[in-house]
Structure 1
Amino acid sequence: MLAVLGFVGVLALTTSLIHLYLWKRLVRDTTTPGRWRRVGGIAALVLALLVPATLAGTQAGLYWLAWPGYLWLAVMFYLLVVLAVLEVPMLVTRLVLRRRLTAAEPTTAAPEPVLVATAEPTTAAPEPVLVGAAGPPESPATDAVRAPDHDPARRLLLARGAAIFAGLTATGITGYGVRTALGPPRLDRVQIPLAKLPRSMDGLRIATVSDIHLGPLRGRAHTERIVAAINRLDADLVAVVGDLVDGSVAELGPAAAPLRDLRSRYGSFFVTGNHEYYSGVEEWVQEVDRLGLRVLQNQRQEIRARGGVLDLAGVNDLDATGSTGLAAGPDFAAALGDRDPSRPVVLLAHQPLAAVEAAQYDVDLQLSGHTHGGQVVPFNLVVRLAQPVVSGLGEVDGTKVYVTNGAGFWGPPVRVGAEPQISLVELRSA
């Protein structure tokens, strides 16, 4: 409970700070006091409340919140990124304008004042008059007009220009990202040499897919399209490496049903991802098994093909650590220990980070997902801090790790710089 409250607290604080910044840059800096500033303030407050309402509401079955809430989350993210990037050129612009105005001001010294008095001796001496003086000191208002960084009209113009640019850029990127995320998965073909692979098994093909994320925004048609794409590959094996669903079997069972139509020569296999543990993992393990996919829960399967033998292993997701029963955490020793070391072994593990421990068991290749390839640039830079490989083929302590981008999305229906993907991994004998 404390962990949940802590997460909610951090989310509320972060959301509030982001929307406060957006309100300042998009509303306060671009309007004068009055009706439009009040309208903008109310809109910013409503949008700030929409984010946590969407995250909580979709969990409670209020799926009508998903599209507006998640779309705003994407626009909000890119508004924040673009405006943050614009902070530097905006500051430079103000400094340049101030320097230009300072350089244009006259620098000639003012003449010395001369005291002038009337000649009549009988009359009272008149007040002296300063001739040639520079005049009375300029008021603060005059100074404000001269300084570009304090000129209300100039500041308003710059702020509006930045806001318009940020708005058009954020909505344009989001629109492109929605089109990409909802489009068909791209096929990625990769050849990976394994030193222990028998020559008779050269060219063994594994269709790999992850992060399908059936849920509020993706349903049965999404699954059908993925299954059809995999079946066209005519693969030897099919590996579904986690994060199939964001919801219970009761809610999403019909959406997952097309998985029963997957075709391969030597079987279809599944390992759990972290989202299965948020969605009733015990029920989903039984449901996926019922649909004809072998669930590898800290287990190993011997694959005999083309006169050779390969070990296919699978471990539960790292986030399951501490659970029991069907939801037990990863057990690398159970899946990889006491095996014939002369055989090549391919490990299915949802998170690339699992390779740190898998490497201790001399795993030849690990197939993973989880990262979505970053899903939205520049978030991929943050993912690199948590996972050793974000997308494509890498290596961790001598173990090759291939990470597929995933065929779905989580949260905003947006992908920028990381197209949805199905991967065909072809094993080659070295």
Structure 2
Amino acid sequence: MIFALIVVPVLGLFFGVHRYLWCRLVRDTTAPAGRPRRAGTVALFALPLIALAAPLSGRVGLPFAVQQALAWPGYLWLALVVYLTPALLVGEAVRAVWLRVPRAREADGREAPETASAASAASAAVPVRRVPADPPSAAAPSSAPTLLPPGTPALPPLPAPPRRLFLARAVAAGASLAAAATVGYGTATTLRGPSVKRVTVPLAKLPRAAHGFRIAVVSDIHLGPTLGRAHTRRVVETINRTGPDLVAIVGDLVDGSVADLAPAAEPLRELRSRHGAYFVTGNHEYYSGAAQWVDHVRELGIHPLENARTELPGFDLAGINDLAGARDHAGPDYERALGDRDPTRAAVLLAHQPVTIHDTVRYGVDLQLSGHTHGGQMWPFTYVAAATNPTVAGLERYGDTQLYVTRGAGAWGPPVRVGTPPDVTVVELASLRA
């Protein structure tokens, strides 16, 4: 019942938006029986169906090649809808203002009606001497073209497009261009791969010997139908260029099964750091077979931390399972990960979602490293991310615990990032005793 109460309004809004797009992009800009009207109608019927099929194709077990074929047009269309709809709504205001502006006077020299009336009144008051006109001379040149046989009446000029049609086409073209440019920029931003951010985090309990320890934090790589092996290689090369002491992969590595995505994940085997690479699950791992992925990342030389802890020089590194694992009785267990540790040692916790920070504070952790938010990924969803997470991106303090949230290296759904470029963050731990 609750599912129906959510899904039915969402689908209603989804198809209502597409109805509006059809009205503004097709109905208002094309002739009723023409080919452009038919082609536009077919496109705006097929594209939303492809967009719905793209995220469902993996869930119903379609072949991975079919998932890839649906993902690119489906997800890119969703991104276009996000920016095309508000652009057209802005166009509604432009349309309303423009249609209120009086028509410009004709530029062919003809008088406006009120001027012609005034001239008629003046001619009636003042007598005018009529002079007979000379007969037309046969030798006089004609300014009209002589393409028609003599005696054929000249065709009237073609009328200009109606003002409303011109305005509808101009608004549709402008909105489409703005949306396409935004999505193109966002796609290029994603496919370029992550940039490197650097942040220094002082920890009161960190010994002088561990001062300057560098953790390369990466999250939300989201290997799937749109982002594959080439994307993984870009991420790995970016991390390796920083020369980290440790690599922390804080969840949402994949969107799909090991059978489909093992080749895409293979470059992770090339990660290089002094103290290895560590991994905790994100919510998307539990949609993709978390147990299989934990085993597979271990085969790639990465150490999973499933509600577990390891001692490193100068501090403890712990990791908890994602909240989504609770449905499989594998959710976060702070007691297992942190309950018996030495409280005099500094502790760094890997936890996918930043909303766990309040539990983290109660266990006396010095620093939590998270992802999940993508920084919002696409404006205006940045406002949604800010409303549902304590920290969307960057470093903040909660009591004696600091929280750092990376924007992530990939993208979920549309491979588009607008206003929130992907990153790998090098977190340098600083000792107050240094």
Same fold (TM over 0.5): yes
Give, in angstroms, the shift of residue 397 of structure 1: 4.5
Is 1:350–2:352 an aligned residue pair?
A: yes
Give, in angstroms, the shift of residue 204 of structure 1: 0.7
Contact 1:12 1:52 in 2 (8 A): no
Is 1:422–2:424 an aligned residue pair?
A: yes
Report the residue type matching 1:223 in the other structure: T
Give, in angstroms, the shift of residue 424 of structure 1: 0.6
1:267-303 Cα offsets, whole Å, 9 max, x none, are 2110001110011111111111122211111112111
Distance 1:93 1:302 in 2: 69
Corresponding residue for residue 12 of structure 2: 13
Question: CA separation of 1:26/1:265 partners in 2, compared to 1, >3 Å: closer, same or farther?
Answer: same
User: Residues 6-405 of structure 1: matches in 2 within 5 Å?
Assistant: 9-35=8-34, 36-59=36-59, 60-61=62-63, 62=66, 63-94=68-99, 97=101, 153-304=162-313, 309-324=314-329, 328-405=330-407
Instruction: State, as a whole percentage, how many aligned pairs show the same letter.
Output: 53
Contact 2:251 2:372 in 1 (8 A): yes
Secondary structure of the residue that 1:370 maps to in structure 2?
Answer: coil
Question: CA separation of 1:165/1:312 partners in 2, compared to 1, >3 Å: closer, same or farther?
Answer: same
Distance 2:391 2:332 in 1: 19
Report the residue type matching 1:292 in the other structure: G
Report the residue type matching 2:82 in the other structure: F
Distance 1:380 1:395 in 2: 21
Give, in angstroms, the shift of residue 393 of structure 1: 1.6
Q: Which deviates further from its counterpart, 200-209 or 351-360?
A: 351-360
Instruction: Give the TM-score, by structure 1 length.
Output: 0.80
Corresponding residue for residue 133 of structure 2: none
Question: CA separation of 1:6/1:237 partners in 2, compared to 1, >3 Å: closer, same or farther?
Answer: farther
Contact 1:208 1:239 in 2 (8 A): yes
Question: CA separation of 1:3/1:302 partners in 2, compared to 1, >3 Å: closer, same or farther?
Answer: farther
Aligned length: 374
Secondary structure of the residue that 2:221 maps to in structure 1?
Answer: coil
1:307-356 Cα offsets, whole Å, 9 max, x none, are xx2011111111222322xxx01112222223222221111011111112
Distance 1:85 1:272 in 2: 42
Secondary structure of the residue that 1:321 maps to in structure 2?
Answer: helix
| Aligned-pair Cα RMSD in Å | 2.5
Q: Which deviates further from its counterpart, 342-351 or 257-266?
A: 257-266
Secondary structure of the residue that 2:315 maps to in structure 1?
Answer: strand
Distance 2:3 2:265 in 1: 29
Corresponding residue for residue 149 of structure 2: none
Give, in angstroms, the shift of residue 172 of structure 1: 0.7
Question: CA separation of 1:87/1:340 partners in 2, compared to 1, >3 Å: closer, same or farther?
Answer: farther
1:181-231 Cα offsets, whole Å, 9 max, x none, are 100310111111122222221111001111111111222222222222212
Give, in angstroms, the shift of residue 427 of structure 1: 0.9
Distance 1:398 1:33 in 2: 67
Distance 1:367 1:5 in 2: 36
Distance 1:93 1:194 in 2: 61
Question: CA separation of 1:51/1:425 partners in 2, compared to 1, >3 Å: closer, same or farther?
Answer: same
1:348-390 Cα offsets, whole Å, 9 max, x none, are 0111111122122222111111111211122111111111111
Give, in angstroms, the shift of residue 258 of structure 1: 2.2
Report the residue type matching 2:350 in the other structure: L
Contact 1:58 1:66 in 2 (8 A): no
Corresponding residue for residue 123 of structure 1: none
1:28-76 Cα offsets, whole Å, 9 max, x none, are 3334533244443332112221211222234423121111111111111
Report the residue type matching 2:55 in the other structure: L
Question: CA separation of 1:4/1:57 partners in 2, compared to 1, >3 Å: closer, same or farther?
Answer: farther
- Give the unaligned 5+ runs of structure 2: 105-112, 115-160
Q: Which deviates further from its counterpart, 32-41 or 67-76?
A: 32-41
Distance 1:29 1:48 in 2: 20
Report the residue type matching 2:323 in the other structure: L
Report the residue type matching 1:310 in the other structure: F
- Give the unaligned 5+ runs of structure 1: 107-151
